Structure 1
Amino acid sequence: MTARRVVITGVEVLAPGGVGARKFWELLTEGRTATRGITFFDPSPFRSRVAAEVDFDPYAHGLTRQEVRRMDRAAQFAVVAARGAVTDSGLALDALDPYRIGVTVGTAVGSTMSLDEDYRMVSDDGRLDLVDHTYADPYFYNYFVPSSFAAEVARAVGAQGPSSVVSAGCTSGLDSVGYAAELIREGTADVVVTGATDAPISPITLACFDAIKATTPRNDEPEQASRPFDGTRNGFVLGEGAAAFVLEELESARRRGARIYAEIAGYATRSNAYHMTGLRADGAEMAEAITVALDEARMNPTDIDYINAHGSGTKQNDRHETAAFKRSLGDHAYRTPVSSIKSMVGHSLGAIGSIEIAASILAIQHNVVPPTANLHTPDPECDLDYVPLTSRDQLVDAVLTVGSGFGGFQSAMVLAQPERSAA
């Protein structure tokens, strides 16, 4: 039996610098950065005090007082993004069989902001060794269980099919969409609302990344702090946000005259089984994921027009994935533009993979490669074309987007014009 082909017909993005896919794309193509000093709380005790925050008013985006009361900020992001993606798709979900509509949501750290705040409350700002549970939020259980994100999205869109949360560190946003595509390919669902969300900008998250010196201490120039592939980089900038998509089968989308952003032509994930935070210098596991994704897409390395890199802005990661691109694409790696949007919107952990999928499909739609901001002094060990500072007009029919996460997770996805991937 021929596998069903899966396409993206709806998208919405909540990102630093602008809510909505249009504002997000404008930010990227203009090469503007949305990183700034942290405003959510007093960051002065911490080593890294910069982040990429989303200017988000839940009420302005249609959430009710009750929804805001019960949902963590990350869940609010997910619901608003999901509703926006459904609207963008033009699908009338209430006219479909609800048991054939699925939901998959990616997240790395779940309801971190609410959990952090609740712990401060029950412990009297850390002064109590024996916490007082009577001060806990009545929705504390929901914060503890990330599956509540999928439940909230399913309720918001009326989905009664398969519903799940994918949590695989910083590849969660890729893996959730990859899993959603498989649900359609295998015939378990006809439509899946998918994507990822994270709102990790909290004291506990800053403390964790401070401890391993993964985030940048470049606090005096926050707009210049995220510097993927630059020789002066010294860590990533924490971010937040969400992106959501509507996935459906290609022929069904064509029959209803849907706008098709791109086909999910190939996807694969691998693990290095090596170190919780370390990466092998040769990039072998990421290269393997790329090769398998290309094989699934029935594409050659030379078919890739643009690589949306993980590009976190740590020396270890940037050199690791540069090696992976060379290993998997061969000489074509030197001829392919590569860029990291984390230079502009920061690293939103589990959400970033989906936000980068959004950037990739918009690159296909507009035939524009977004730049790597703040890339002034190239690292000589990163010697590919990283599209410094300014976006580039060029034909983009097929994009490789990759992710790398703590725990050794390496994921790759090929997105393409349906006509290109059918070749």
Structure 2
Amino acid sequence: MNRRVVITGIGVRAPGALGRRQLWDLLSNGRTATRRISFFDPTPFRSQVAGEVDFDAAAEGLSPREIRRMDRATQFAVVCAREAVADSGIALDPATSPRVGVSLGSAVAAATSLEEEYLVLSDSGRTWEVSPEHLSPYMFDHMVPSCMAAEVAWTVGAEGPVAMVSDGCTSGLDAVGHAAALIREGSVDVMVAGATDTPITPIVVACFDAIKATTTYNDDPAHASRPFDGTRNGFVLAEGAALFVLEDLAAARSRGAHIYAEVGGFATRCNAYHMTGLKSDGREMAEAIRVALDQAGRNPSDVDYVNAHGSGTKQNDRHETAAFKRSLGPHAYRTPVSSIKSMVGHSLGAIGSVEIATSLLAMEHHVVPPTANYEVVDPECDLDYVPNVAREQRTDTVLTVGSGFGGFQSAMVLTRPGRARS
């Protein structure tokens, strides 16, 4: 069996955006949602800016018990799952639940709750000796990432395969890629898939400070994230989530569902090289792109838009530019490329799913979102990065990519399902 897989529902929570409509309004207008960290006093830290989500769990419909039980990242995932199912209009009931699954990605899982519990247990780090009497009854949930996927499964009534994917910053792409594979092979009919991360905590900020991966443009938070720009000096940490409903194309058409796009192809590779370093030639990402295009039955010249990883670090943007040239050939110079991290920051494992949502909306509206804060040309990054202003352009085939610590390189090709495969 080799069924075609489509996306029929979107749920998203991102900086400056509670839902897909707000996300598209932000991105298509080139506005930035990065700001000085407000969750804690960032003064002691090297990087003091972030992309925070103005999220009110109670206003989102979560009960006091759910709020107490779930980590912030899990809350994001549950809210997005509900929204995606509602958007898809699909009926999930006990009769179909064994054929419904969940694939959830996250890089740092319940980082928010784990840090909060550590502070309680250690009296804010003043003591090494801790007593279990101060331990939260939900500590197990925070320690075991699969509990996050289980919460989503309970929310949507999924009794099929439930998976937790944690591949660093490619988790959001990889979780959706895994979901599509399960439908394609016939193991399930419907998947709720995506990713969530809420890493804006002192410990996580300190970790990225230590390796100097995040920006120091603290005096200008709104313009701190500068992918592909010659003055870029690191990414802006962020939080967010996006989940989707994936289903068989024939089933979606038979029920009259609105189809955002087909998941035409997906591939992931590892550079087997370095935990954080990247080879300058972009070979591994280029290989993932090649395989994803082959699966989708598309040629490099068919790509209408590239939704880049575009983290804003010196090495990533050079590496990625080289990968596009290697995989797309001369067409790379004719293809618009943009990074939404310039506007919403880098939400680690979640960003790949937020970027899938962006790609779907770009196809929906035939508009390519811009790379904000792009002012200074870097000679090593010489493609069309759609500087600062969105561009109207028909988008039938979108390539979205991710790059993660550990050497992970992932690529997904989203296509308009009305077009026949070559």
TM-score by length of 2: 0.99
3-state SS of paired residue (2:53): coil
What is the SS of the residue equivalent to 2:373?
coil
| Correspondence for 1:58 | 57
Question: Aligned equivalents of 1:225 and 1:70: distance in 2?
Answer: 35
Aligned to 1:270: 269
Secondary structure at the aligned position of 1:84 is classed as helix
- 2:405, 2:132 → 1: CA distance? 32
Question: Shift of residue 143 of structure 1?
Answer: 0.4
- Indicate the residue corresponding to 2:257 in structure 1: 258
Q: Give 1:132 shift.
A: 2.3
- Equivalent-residue separation in structure 1 for 2:161 and 2:255 (angstroms): 24
Instruction: Please show how residues 362-381 of structure 1 align to structure 2 within 5 Å.
Output: 362-381=361-380
* SS of residue in 2 equivalent to 1:94: coil
Deviation of the 1:138 alpha carbon: 1.1
Aligned to 1:40: 39
- Opposite residue 189 of structure 1, the aligned amino acid is V
- Once the two structures are aligned, what percentage of the paired residues are identical? 69
User: What do residues 31-74 of structure 1 show as CA deviations (whole Å, max 9, x unaligned)?
Assistant: 00000000101111110000000000111111100000000000
Cα distance in 2 between the residues matched to 1:110 and 1:374: 30
Please report how far the alpha carbon of residue 96 of structure 1 lies from its aligned counterpart in structure 2 after TM superposition.
Answer: 4.4
CA contact (8 A) 1:397 1:416 kept: yes
Distance 1:311 1:343 in 2: 8
* Superposition map of 1:9-408 within 5 A: 9-94=8-93, 96-408=95-407
Instruction: Give the counterpart letter for 1:395 in structure 2.
Output: R
- Secondary structure of the residue that 1:236 maps to in structure 2? coil
Deviation at 1:94, TM superposition (A): 1.5
The answer to whether the Cα contact below 8 Å between 1:78 and 1:196 also exists between their aligned partners in 2 is: yes
Distance in 1 (alpha carbons) for counterparts of 2:176 and 2:321: 24
1:18 CA displacement: 1.6
Q: Deviations over 1:197-245 (max 9, x none)?
A: 0000000000100000000011000000000000001100000010010
Match of 1:416 in 2: 415
Residue-by-residue CA offset, 1:237-274 (whole Å, 9 max, x unaligned): 00001001000000000000000000000000000000
Unaligned runs of 5+ in 2: none
- TM superposition shift of 1:147: 0.3
Deviations 1:166-215 (A, max 9, x none): 00000000000000000100111000001000000000000100000000
Paired AA for residue 297 in structure 1: A
Query: Is the CA contact 1:196–1:350 (under 8 Å) kept in the aligned structure 2?
Result: yes
Give distance in 2, aligned partners of 1:419 and 1:332: 23
Which piece of structure 1 moves more, 127-136 or 166-175?
127-136
Give the distance between the partners of 2:12 and 2:386, measured in 1 at CA.
23
Structure 1 residue matching 2:93: 3-state secondary structure = helix
* Partner Cα distance (1:196, 1:280) in 2: 27
Aligned residues: 422
Contact 1:265 1:421 in 2 (8 A): no
Structure 2: how far apart are the matches of 1:227 and 1:172? Answer: 23
Q: Supply the AA of the counterpart residue of 1:229.
A: F
More off after superposition, 393-402 vs 89-98: 89-98
* 1:131-178 Cα distance to aligned partner (Å, 9 max, x none): 222212110110011101110000000110000110000000000000
8 Å CA contact 1:112–1:200 kept in 2: the answer is yes
**Counterparts of 1:162 and 1:180 in 2: how far apart (Å)?**
9
What amino acid maps onto 2:414 in structure 1? L
The amino acid of 1:127's aligned partner reads: R
Provide structure 1 residue ranges, at least 5 long, that are not aligned to the other structure.
none
Tell me if the contact between 2:153 and 2:159 (Cα under 8 Å) persists in the aligned partners.
Answer: yes
Q: Distance in 1 between matches of 2:133 and 2:108?
A: 25
Question: Deviation of residue 95 (structure 1)?
Answer: 6.2
Quick check: 404-413 or 40-49, which moved more? Answer: 40-49
One-letter amino acid of the structure 2 residue matched with residue 381 of structure 1: E
CA contact (8 A) 2:242 2:353 kept: yes
AA aligned opposite 2:178: Y
Q: Distance in 2 between matches of 1:137 and 1:384?
A: 51
Q: What's the secondary structure of 1:66's corresponding residue?
A: helix
Q: Contact 1:283/1:324 (CA < 8 Å) preserved in 2? A: yes
Q: Give the C-alpha shift of residue 422 in structure 1.
A: 2.6
> Could you say what the CA RMSD is over the residues aligned between the two structures, in angstroms?
0.8
- Could you give the per-residue CA deviations for residues 9-36 of structure 1, whole angstroms, max 9, x where no partner exists? 0001101002000000000000000000
SS class of match (1:171): helix
Is the CA contact 2:94–2:157 (under 8 Å) kept in the aligned structure 1?
no
**What amino acid does structure 2 have at the position aligned with 1:419?**
G
SS in 1 for 2:85: helix
Q: Distance in 1 between matches of 2:159 and 2:138?
A: 23
